[in-house]
Amino acid sequence: MGKNNLLISGNSFLDVIVTDKAERRSSLNSRGDINFTLGGIFNISHELSKIGVSHQVKAILGHPINGTNVLKFLPNKESGSVDPHYNLTFSAADMCYAVINERTYQSTRSSIVKNGVSRELELALELDFSHHHISYIDNLPNYSSQMIENNLLSGQFISVDLCLNDPTEEEKIETLKKITLVSLVIMSESEFIGLFGLSSSREVVKNLPLKLDNLIVHKEDGIIIKEGSKVEVLNCNRRGNISVLGLGDKFVSYFYVCYLANFDIVLSAKSAFWEIQNEVWSE
């Protein structure tokens, strides 16, 4: 296995991003923007490319994206960025969709999601990579616990993030089974509440009744980092009127910049937090 080779795999979405730039004065039309872009793991890939971290992307894309028009949906290459290696499978079935309403005047976002073929990706034994980040593990039914274990036994560091705020009981059971196996779990406060039925705090995270060796919970007012028996909390006040779209993906990207440079989990998480602090939090 090559040193510090990073694979990003998992779910991808065709994001329809509707941006409300100002609060509506009535229930009638309002000004804003509508953009179409590839989301999910492609958000993380885009950030890693901008930072200059080489990596591979593995995903299934479906209608309306195909091998002919895929380039117009991929993020534009920016000056100084690196080109990721794409391992893409194309399907005639519809891919996953997410209609995202971003309200910059409230610093909030909401989304409506429709599942599609993109979530049907299957996990294989990935011996060429020392590190593997799996995006939306709770929406990947074909990522089996057994294959996760096989990759871990090969010496791979596996991190995962989540996407479901309202998982079914069956989804909770499957997700808990998978996240207790991996090297690191990264989730938002809303995903934490959806999975455990509790708001996160130092004590709640420290005393979770299951084996999670390493966990990061990012919240509106900071982050909680658990590494083994050690739990640290960083709190800050969030600024108003900011774009919160994609901040979780930025966090994952900044984390890996540090972790691939041999920082430990706590310092990598703190560094990622500090990196996006100017965008989201005040001193």
Q: What is the Cα–Cα distance from 178 to 193, expressed in whole angstroms?
A: 17
- Whether the pTM exceeds 0.95: the reply is no
Segments in the chain below pLDDT 50: 1-2, 282-283
Mapping DSSP to helix (H, G, I), strand (E, B) and coil, where does residue 278 land?
helix
**What does R_g of the chain's alpha carbons equal in angstroms?**
18
157-161 and 184-188 strand pairing: parallel
Q: What is the pLDDT of residue 2?
A: 46
Please check whether residue 1 is in contact with residue 156, taking contact to mean a CB–CB distance below 8 angstroms.
yes
Q: What is the pLDDT of residue 10?
A: 96
Please write the tens of the pLDDT for every residue from 2-30: 455 999 999 999 988 777 665 655 556 66
Domains of the chain: 6-21+33-280 (3.40.1190.20)
Give the CA angle between residues 107, 219, 176 to the nearest 5°: 130
Cross-strand pairs, 131: 6, 157
Q: Which residues contact 188 (CB under 8 A, 6 or more apart)?
A: 162, 217, 218, 219, 248
Please check whether residue 103 is in contact with residue 132, taking contact to mean a CB–CB distance below 8 angstroms.
no
Q: What is the pLDDT of residue 25?
A: 58
Q: What is the pLDDT of residue 283?
A: 47
Q: How many Cβ atoms from other residues are within 10 Å of residue 166's Cβ?
A: 9
Q: What is the pLDDT of residue 33?
A: 73
Q: What is the pLDDT of residue 231?
A: 94
Q: Which amino acid is at 2?
A: G
Please check whether residue 253 is in contact with residue 131, taking contact to mean a CB–CB distance below 8 angstroms.
no
Residue 242, both tokens: 């900011």
Q: How many angstroms separate the Cα of 249 from the Cα of each of 118, 134, 203, 208?
A: 18, 12, 26, 25
Q: What is the Cα–Cα distance from 115 to 95, expressed in whole angstroms?
A: 7
Q: What is the Cα–Cα distance from 218 to 225, expressed in whole angstroms?
A: 9
Nearest Cα neighbor of 35 from 17, 12, 13 is: 17
26: left (phi over 0), alpha (psi -120 to 50) or beta: beta
How are the residues of the chain apportioned to helix, strand and coil, as percentages rounded to the nearest 5?
Answer: 30, 30, 40
Please write the tens of the pLDDT for every residue from 23-56: 655 556 666 677 788 999 999 999 999 989 999 9
